Amino acid sequence: MAQQQQQPQLKGYTSYKHFNVTSAGPAFVVHVEINRPAKLNAFFEAMWLELGQIFRQLSSDPDVRAVVLSGAGDRGFTAGLDIHAASSNNQLQSSGALDVGRKAAQLRRYITEFQDSISAIELCEKPVIVVLHAISLGLAIDIACAADIRLCTRDVRLAVKEVDIGLAADIGTLSRLPKAVGNFSWVKEVCMSAREFGATEAQQVGFVSQVLDSKVAALDQAIKLAGLIAGKSPIAVQGTKELLNHARDHSVSESLRYTTVWNSAALQSRDMMDALSASVQKKKPVFSKL
C-alpha cells in the first residue's frame, strides 16, 4: 500500500528525531509514526517531549485537518516507558540534598511536563485516530485515551502496566479511561491487576471502535477515515471535537451553554453556506484552510 511506504518528513517537521511525520495520502491528512521499533517504540524523556511538540504544531497547522498516529514496525505500537532509561533517570532518584517538600515539588513539575506532552494529543484541534497493534502496553493506553478514535488489530496485546512497576498510572489513563468506556468495574480490574486484554474485550467495553485483521488493514482504515473527516468543514469538525470533549467533562446544561457561545462565533464562517450550496448543486464542497 502506498501509505505503508516510507515517505519524506513533512516540511516544517524534519527536526523531529523519534517520530516520522509524513503525508498520509489524502489531502490534509498527516501520519505520525513512533519511530523506535528496535526498542519496541518504548518512550524515554526526549520522545515524550517531542510528541507534545509535534501535536502542538499540528494543532495550529492550516494544512492539517486529521491525524493518524501509529507505531513503526510489526512488533508493537509501544511497550510503554523505557524501563532502563527510567531506572537511570536522576529525577526519579532519591536525593539526600533535598528535603521531602522540595523533592516533591521537583517531581510534581516533572510529572506535569510528562502529562502535558500526552495531553497535547487531546488538546490538538485536529481529530486524532490512533492505530494500536501487537504490543500496546502502559503508555500506549495513556496515548490512546487522549486520542479521539481508537482502532486496533486482532493481535493487539493491551495492558495498564503501571502497578507492575510500583506506581499508580499518572499520565492520563486513570483520568481518561473511566470516561472512555462504560464499565467502571472493568476499568478498576485492569488498572489494579495490570492483566493483559485483547481486541475482542477492548471492543466489548468500548475502548476501541473497530478491530482489523492486520496492521496494514488498520492503517488503511484509519487513513480512509481520516480522509473522510478531512473532507468536512474544518470549522465544524474542530468544533465538534471541542464540544464533545467539553460535554464529557461537564453537565448537560453547562455543555449546552458552552455550545451556544461556541457556535455564536462558528456559525459566522462561510462553511455552512458552502456546504448547503454544494449539496443543492450535488457537488463536493471545498472549504478554506483554517
- pLDDT tens-digit series, residues 146-185: 999 999 999 999 999 999 989 999 999 999 999 999 899 9
Alpha carbon dihedral 145, 142, 161, 190, in 10-degree steps, equals -20
The pLDDT tens digits for 188-224 are 999 999 999 999 999 999 999 999 999 999 999 999 9
Contacts of 93 (CB under 8 A, 6+ apart): none
Query: Is residue 66 within a helix (H) or strand (E), and if so which, with residue range?
Result: strand 66-71
- pLDDT tens column, 15-27: 999 999 999 999 9
pLDDT score of 133 more than 90:
yes
Dist CA 198 CA 134 (whole Å):
9
Q: What is the mean pLDDT of residues 119-138?
A: 98
* Side-by-side strand order, sheet with 66-71: 19-23, 29-34, 66-71, 128-132, 149-153, 210-212
Q: Stretch 87-113: mean pLDDT, rounded?
A: 80
Q: Lowest-pLDDT range, 95-104, 139-148, 153-162, 253-262?
A: 95-104
**Strand duo 76-78 + 66-71: pairing:** unpaired
Query: What is the CATH number assigned to the segment(s) 2-230?
Result: 3.90.226.10
Give dist(CA 108, CA 98) in Å, integer: 14
pTM: 0.94
Please give the mean pLDDT across all residues of the chain: 94
Q: How confident is the model at residue 2 (pLDDT cuts 50, 70, 90)?
A: very low
Work out the average pLDDT over 95-115.
87
- Assess whether pLDDT exceeds 60 at residue 247: yes
For the cut 60, the answer to whether the pLDDT of residue 116 exceeds it is: yes
120 within 8 A of 52, measured Cβ to Cβ:
yes
Q: Note whether 66 and 226 are within 8 A (CB).
A: yes
Determine the pLDDT at residue 95: 58
Tell me: pLDDT of 108 over 90: yes
CA distance 283 to 194: 51
Q: How far is CA 187 from CA 118, 183, 240, in A?
A: 20, 6, 27
Question: What digits encode the pLDDT tens for the residues 76-87?
Answer: 999 999 988 776
25-70 residue pLDDT tens: 999 999 999 999 999 999 999 999 999 999 999 999 999 999 999 9
Band (pLDDT 50/70/90 cuts) for residue 136 is: very high
Question: Helix, strand or coil for residue 59?
Answer: helix
Instruction: Break the chain into its structural domains and give their ranges.
Output: 2-230, 234-280
Which of 70, 66, 60, 68 shows the shortest CA–CA distance to 28? 66
Q: How confident is residue 90, by pLDDT bands cut at 50, 70 and 90? A: low
Same fold flag, 2-230 and 234-280: no
Residue 93 pLDDT level (bands cut at 50, 70, 90): low
Which pLDDT value is given to residue 118? 97
Q: Which of 111-120, 207-216, 274-283 has the lowest mean pLDDT?
A: 274-283
Residue 289 has what DSSP assignment?
-
**pLDDT at residue 96, rounded to an integer:** 64
Residue 63 CA to residue 61 CA, distance in Å, equals 5
Assigned CATH class of 234-280: mainly alpha
Q: Between the CA of residue 141 and those of 107, 176, 218, what are the distances in Å?
A: 22, 10, 17
Helix (H), strand (E) at residue 155: none
Residue of 81, 82, 206, 222 whose CA lies nearest to 153: 222
In this prediction, residue 226 carries a pLDDT of 98
